[in-house]
Amino acid sequence: MITVGMDIGSVASKGVLLSGDKKFSLVLPTGWSPRDVGEQILANLLAESRVELEEVDSILVTGYGRVSFDRAAARTVTEISCHARGVAALCPETGTIIDIGGQDSKVISINGNGKVLDFAMNDKCAAGTGRFLQVMANTLGMDVGELAAFEDPSAMVKINSMCTVFAESEIIGLLARGSSKGGIIAGLHQSVGKRVAAMTRRLGVKEKIVFTGGVAQNAGVCRALEEELKHRIVVPEECQFTGALGAALLAAG
Ligand code: ADP
């Protein structure tokens, strides 16, 4: 059986092709056209796996841009179901999924079989999302992927503003007064950690806790979440691909 799962996100689009026991994955920036990036991912996955489109049994699309991908053969499913399925496959016995993406953060409570029991989501405000960290990294003159390596929790500077626009001004002020970049970054990670931990506590913390989404690549945010929740958190190597993997697995059945 050959299936394709795609997670067309607000910032990054991910694709997974499953062919027997082989797995091919690809991530591309979503850019301005979710439809085009979906087509590009599909074409690249087919080329890399040397599979013809006619050989694909099923395509399932999820994520913010899923409705834009209008191939008749493709079905759509919510991100919550796909993340749950992907995480259950990668990390059996998971109780709580924390997913922080580009434009939202969500917490999903699942049972041992990956069935969704409950979920909570913040998609109203950039605070506590990858976008918040991207804007702050830009203000600090670095790439979002560099933040964790530069953070200095021992010199943590508390960031008081929740709103992305005000937090940007606050950071410019802190830099002008001589606060260290490492301390400011630690404070930013703590601010995201606090906000997402509060949402997790509201839903109920159930071990094992697994952290996914593009922001899970940031070890500083993981540290902050562990401190806030006082629980160990597991980050799968394929943390950004759990939605796409879940879609590919759901496409099979
Ligand atoms: P979406 O599905 O909403 O597009 P993703 O789950 O793909 O979002 O996550 C995108 C976010 O991941 C970006 O906004 C950015 O903050 C973060 N990110 C991307 N790459 C890295 C990296 N190498 N290290 C840390 N954070 C990253």
* Cα–ligand 1 centroid distance for 213 (angstroms): 7
pLDDT digits (tens, 9 = 90+) for 14-52: 999 999 999 999 999 999 999 899 999 999 999 999 999
205 lies in some domain:
yes
Residue 230 Ramachandran class (φ > 0 left, ψ -120 to 50 alpha, else beta): left
12-19 and 22-29 beta bridge pairing: antiparallel
Domain range for 51: 2-80+242-251
**CATH number of the domain residue 41 falls in:** 3.30.420.40
pLDDT tens by residue, 107-153:
999 998 889 999 999 988 888 899 999 999 999 999 999 999 999 99
Q: Are residues 109 and 47 located together in one domain of the fold?
A: no
242 in contact with ligand 1, CB cutoff 6 A: no
Shared-domain flag, residues 205 and 185? yes
Q: How many domains does the chain have?
A: 2
- Does this model's pTM top 0.85? My answer is yes
Residues 109, 174, single domain; the answer is yes
Q: Is 83 in the pocket of ligand 1 (CB under 6 A)?
A: no
Name, in order, each residue with C-beta under 8 angstroms of 160's C-beta and a sequence gap of 6 or more: 170
Q: Is 18 inside any structural domain?
A: yes
Among protein residues, the one whose CA lies closest to atom 15 of ligand 1: 130
| 75 secondary structure, DSSP code | E
Ligand 1 center to residue 214 CA distance, Å? 3
Binning pLDDT at 50, 70 and 90, where does residue 72 land?
low
12 lines ligand 1 (CB under 6 A): yes
Query: Does ligand 1 come within 6 angstroms of the Cβ of 96?
Result: no
User: Is the peptide bond between 208 and the residue preceding it cis, with omega within 30 degrees of 0?
Assistant: yes
